[in-house]
Amino acid sequence: METTGRAPTRREVLHAIGLMGGAAVLYQAMEAMGHAAESQFAGPPNLSGARPGASVLVLGAGLAGMLAAYELGKAGYKVQILEYNNRPGGRNWSLYGGDTYTELGGATQKVGFAPGNYLNPGPWRIPYHHRTLLHYCKAFGVVLEPFIQLNHQALVHSSKAFGGQPKRYRELAADWDGNVAELLAKAIDNKGLDSTIVAADRDRLKEALREWGILDKDMRYAKNLRTARRRGYDRPLGGGVDGAPIASQPFALTDLLDSDIGGIIASHMESQHQTTMFQPVGGMGMIGKAFGKQVADKIRYNAKVTKIDQSGGAVTATYTDVATNTVQTAKADYCVCTIPLGILSQIELDASAGLLSAIAAIPYSNSVKVGLEMKSRFWEDDEAIYGGMSFTDRPISLVSYPSNGMHSAGPAVLLGAYIYGPASYRFAGMTPQQRIAEALEDGAVLHPGRYKENYMSGATVAWSRVPFTLGCCAQWNEDTRKEHYQTLVAVDDRIVLAGEHASYIGCWMEGALLSSLDAVTRLHKRALEA
């Protein structure tokens, strides 16, 4: 730096960038420096040489369990999967018209969606860098299509800003960039960044700010046709006599701060939420079905595991056949257990004290999703919103518009709520009908006069009430990672755990798959050394 005569460290550079540009610019810099890591997938594992007759019991036919069974089967192991549900996929799940779902407490929903429509209660999008999942989707024939993560035409609503009237994301984002760029330019002129940037870079940074923030010759963000090209026009470009555009007036900084547009912009720059994303054609559950076909001869459905024992040189799982209400057992040399920790902690498990403590130490979050089927795609017809999300400070947090079937007549299903945090537990305490009613009320602030009026049917899932998980996904923190993570993922005699809870990509399918590949690789090595 200029004041010390030495080059700044990476930490100092990142700190300065964060101060100047915020989270969005900081992430780009971290990615360029190699700090924003992608998936660690380097290809399928090379497992071979399984001992003749060696067997593995897999508990759970979610993606982690099915991938473990698939790769172990290729390696020559005899594999059996016990699955609580009557379908493959676990949290990889779609609800279609005609489906029935009963949550804890007994509330039952009969989904009434039109053919082809669905709700993804769990995962609903695939980042471009989740290479494990993308690899197996291609290998197993899952057809993907783009998922629209960011739509500049979508809406942002805050009860604190603009009298509660929603505004376009593009308007708010353009004005945010412009205001921040103008403030940074003033800080440079006022010597406010002298301790951060060398003299030779000041003019170059100001020119970059001019382009980024669309500043005028006086380094101000103002109403003109340049800013209107980004934020939108009061009268758009046209033809004929009145073809000339009219620029729009930027919003005041205080209103931008009230709208929380800075936080929304930052969320789109997180590595898992960037613009290029995918979804399976026909619903996220198509992935679970495709995985299930690969191991169809290995899965025992309707099997509720109640005890896991690994004494006597083998692993024995006791389970109840839910269909016949009979108690049975399954036995193998080794076990890959993918049962969510909230469920596993309630099962009698023969394991080390360390593993039992790790299982009990990790809580699960809750989230609630609500799917709303609408008679028409009014958001496209009225407002040219094609995919993406609108945001609100109401409890529903967002509305996600379908990325499939665009420009068709309808009906179509919106994700009408994605609720997390304290509000999710309040919603979980409601009946499904009450959740849908409140989601309609909250969503109407984005589309007044069209939202409730177009509603046809709905479905909702509160993950704290899902019988096979009792929560959404595992919630690690720095302390629990340090104390329990390595114990949780270690091979415990003849058992190894896998799933999103056994990864650093928690709550994503990629984490579940990577943990599975790591687990089977280590278990195979353990078996060969035995």
- pLDDT exceeds cutoff 90 at 4: no
Q: Which of 255, 486, 479, 230 is nearest to 354 (CA)?
A: 486
Ranking 12-16, 92-96, 407-411 by mean pLDDT, the lowest is 12-16
Instruction: With a cut of 80, say whether residue 37 has pLDDT above it.
Output: no
Pairing, β 389-392 against β 155-157: parallel
Reduced to 3 states, what is the DSSP secondary structure of residue 357? helix
Distance CA 299, CA 493 (A): 24
Query: At 236, phi and psi to the nearest 5?
Result: -70, 170
The pairing of strands 108-110 and 78-82 is: unpaired
The model's confidence at residue 194, banded by pLDDT at 50, 70 and 90, is confident
Q: Convert the pLDDT of each residue in 113-147 to its tens digit.
A: 999 999 999 999 999 999 999 999 999 999 999 99
On the question of pLDDT at 251 being above 50, the answer is yes
Identify the CATH number of the domain defined by range 55-89+300-362+475-529: 3.50.50.60
Position 207 scores a pLDDT of 95
Model confidence at 2: pLDDT above 50: no
Look up residue 119 and give its two tokens: 């709700």
Q: Among all chains, which residue has been given the structure tokens 């009145």?
A: 242
Q: What's the distance, Cα to Cα, between the start and end of the chain in Å?
A: 58
pLDDT at 33 over 80: no
Predicted TM-score (pTM) of the model is: 0.90
Q: In the structure encoding, which two tokens stand for residue 3, read together?
A: 């004041």
The pLDDT value recorded for residue 19 is 42
Instruction: Quote the pLDDT of residue 6.
Output: 45
The per-residue pLDDT for 20 is 43
274 pLDDT tier (thresholds 50, 70, 90): confident
For the chain, helix (H) and strand (E) counts, in that order, are 18, 25
Q: Rounded mean pLDDT of 32-50? A: 73
In the chain, pLDDT over 90 holds for what percent of residues?
87
**Residue 90 banded pLDDT, cuts 50, 70, 90:** very high
- pLDDT interval class at 29 (50, 70, 90): very low
Reported as a single tens digit per residue, the pLDDT across 170-186 is 999 999 999 999 999 99
Q: How many residues appear in the chain?
A: 530
- b/e code 142-154 from CB counts within 10 Å (16+ = b): bebeebbbbbbbb
- Give the domain 96-153+275-283+365-465 fold: Polyamine Oxidase; Chain A, domain 2 (3.90.660)
pLDDT tens, residue by residue, 456-467: 999 999 999 999
In this structure, CATH architecture of domain 171-237+245-257: Up-down Bundle (1.20)
Amino acid at 310: Q
Calpha distance 194→512 (Å, rounded): 47
23, pLDDT greater than 60: no
Domain spans of the chain?
A: 55-89+300-362+475-529, 96-153+275-283+365-465, 171-237+245-257
pLDDT mean over 273-302: 97
pLDDT of residue 396: 98
pLDDT above 60 for 224: yes
Mean pLDDT score of the chain: 93
User: Per-residue pLDDT for 39 more than 80?
Assistant: no
Coil/strand/helix, residue 330: strand
Cα 227 from Cα 232, distance rounded (Å):
8
Checking if the pLDDT of 382 tops 50, the result is yes
Residue 196 pLDDT: 81
pLDDT score at 5: 44
